[in-house]
Amino acid sequence: MKLELGKIHIHDVRFGDTTKIDHGVLYVNAEEMAAVILKDDRLADCHIELARPGESVRITPVKDVIEPRLKVKGPGCVFPGVMGKVTQVGGGVTYCMDGACVVTVGRIVGFQEGVIDMSGPAAEYCPFSQTQNVCVVIEPKEGLETHVYESAGRMAGLTAAKYLAQTLANQTPDETLTYETKPLLEQVAQYPDLPRVGYIHMLQSQGLLHDTYYYGVDAKQIVPTLMYPTEIFDGAIVSGNCVAPCDKVTTYHHEHNPVIEDLFKQHGKTLNFMGVILTNENVFLMDKERHSDMTAKLCEYIGLEGALLTEEGYGNPDTDLMMNCKKVTQRGTKVVIITDEFPGRDGKSYSLADICDEADTMISCGNGNIVIHFPAMDHVIGTQEYVEMQIGGWVGCKQEDGGFDAEIQIIIASTIANGFNKLCARGY
């Protein structure tokens, strides 16, 4: 499977009469874009706002972040099974809007939606403080059940991304990256002297608004499976979860999975990147046992010598993380875990809810319990009404001037457990 990913660099976003890209500037016809989104009769209203790096702007409560991408050559479409027919993707040519994002914002559906600050101290913890953000602010119709509202919000973001992605069709990429994974036996033979390394990608699937979709299928319904790494670049995985904002893997983070990107960078140099094993994070012990057994079996079956292992969320998923680590290690594959930590504000509590002896090599993405001050911003996209309810906030954390104190886990992707952040913790 070979994919050419063409990047069109976006350095500014503005409103305009026509939605287009011109010399690196994305122009958005807000009325036309909102009308496309409002074809969903579950939404009562929608309006578009823009947020740029360095502005005194706060976006909250954030539901998802998506990078617009367009399939220009090869089978399928971006976000298959959700925005088009179920066709295997990951080959051909795909264009992406590098530097610009769709951010879905709206009234809260749970307690997990997060904050993006475009400037100030909190901006340092969030990658989306550095992107040109087209914010889709939605208002659901009254009386929608929570899961129906979540679905409407998820589809609003994906619809917006598809709408903007059409502007990529006539562009010439500023940069093109090529990714290729051969069929298993060919891949082994290509670099026989390099260690065979894979990636175990745990998808959030606990239910109750903790869902991820693979080719449109709720990840609770899958068993561990192999996938070509390039499939993820075409949107084969879509976020539908409302886990703690700090380690929420947005759809953008799936499109830009840093573990896959870095393994490709080392492919043929220090390692032979064999592929990705998808598994999930269910709540029942029987499912955890079954899927960790299958994950370990796949690692053994394809002959992995080493594997990187990531989770999404914390608490209950820590058990899946450790079961995978233990069983994969016992079958002969060395495991490196990537995760964040929640040891309390003083750092003195247990970092993870579960542990095993085999978990002897870990990369930490930081402590989500650290408290910082969020100064008042000139403009809020969405509402700060729910800050005290959001994970990381507490009753009384808001101040009269619009600022507040909160743990950094209220920030989207501040300690995301796949390494797409700036933090780490070191043990001595």
Task: Give the pLDDT of the chain (428 residues) as one tens digit per residue.
Answer: 999 999 999 999 999 999 999 999 999 999 999 999 999 999 999 999 999 999 999 999 999 999 999 999 999 999 999 999 999 999 999 999 999 999 999 988 776 789 999 999 999 999 999 999 999 999 999 989 988 999 999 999 999 999 999 999 999 999 999 999 999 999 999 999 999 999 999 999 998 889 999 999 999 999 999 999 999 999 999 999 888 999 999 999 999 999 999 999 999 999 999 999 999 999 999 999 999 999 999 999 999 999 999 999 899 999 999 999 999 999 999 999 999 999 999 888 999 999 999 999 999 999 999 999 999 999 999 999 999 999 999 999 999 999 999 999 999 999 999 999 988 877 76
Cα separation of 100 and 269, whole Å? 31
With respect to residue 273, please indicate whether it lies within any of the assigned structural domains.
yes
**Is there a domain that residue 16 lies in?**
yes
426, part of any domain = no
From the list 77, 126, 135, 242, the catalytic residue is 242
Query: Does residue 421 form part of some domain?
Result: no
Tell me if 179 sits within 8 A of 234, measured CB to CB: no
Is residue 417, in this structure, part of any structural domain at all? no
CA–CA dist 364, 367 (Å, integer)? 8
> Is 419 domain-assigned?
no
Q: HSE-up of 55 (CA within 13 Å, CB side)?
A: 19
Instruction: Decide if 242 is catalytic.
Output: yes
Please report whether residue 207 resides in a domain: yes
The domain tally of the chain equals: 1
- C-alpha distance from residue 323 to each of 197, 210, 314, 356, 412 (Å): 19, 20, 14, 8, 27
In a domain, 235, yes or no: yes
Q: Let me know: does 416 contact 249? Beta carbons within 8 Å.
A: yes
Domain that holds residue 290: 2-410
